[in-house]
Amino acid sequence: MVSENLHPLAQEVSNQLGQSAGSFMMFVSFRTKPDGVGALIEAFHVPLTETIKEEGNYTYRLAQDALQPEQFVVVEHWRDLQALDAHLKQPYLAQLLADLDPILAEPPHVRVMIEKFF
């Protein structure tokens, strides 16, 4: 699905999904600078509480690596690409990205997984 109206990250996800439609999961990895751990956790407070209220969101969880405290992953489960796109256009997501920019050691890594039912 190519659309000029999609948020750039939603377009990237769309490119990865190809012809797959419907439910998918995302794993977004973050690594903070050594002094950024507390700031990252604080930055996610509002997005975590608000995203789970969004229509089309099944899961939105932040997890910290037990052995490498600067390493985090956000586990996301979305009904479809349109739900993700709407999420990415929320003002609290723009604020989250601004808050994360100075504390990340490297850009986030996004991995998209197509849900399979058996």
At 2-39, the pLDDT tens digits run: 556 999 999 999 999 988 878 999 999 999 999 999 99
Question: Domain residues for 53?
Answer: 8-12+22-114
Q: What is the 3-state secondary structure (H, E, C) of 69-81?
A: CCEEEEEEEECCH
Q: Flag whether 61 is in a domain.
A: yes
Q: Classify residue 106 as exposed, middle or buried by CB count within 10 Å of its CB (0-12, 13-18, 19+).
A: exposed
Q: Are 11 and 81 in contact (CB under 8 A)?
A: no
Q: Flag whether 17 is in a domain.
A: no
Mention every residue, 6+ apart, whose C-beta is less than 8 A from residue 44: 62, 74, 96
C-alpha to C-alpha distance for 52 and 36, rounded to whole angstroms: 24
Q: Flag whether 77 is in a domain.
A: yes
pLDDT, one tens digit per residue, over 62-118 is: 999 999 999 999 999 999 999 999 999 999 999 999 999 999 999 999 999 998 775
Q: Flag whether 2 is in a domain.
A: no
Q: How many domains does the chain have?
A: 1
Q: What is the CATH number of the domain that holds 44?
A: 3.30.70.100
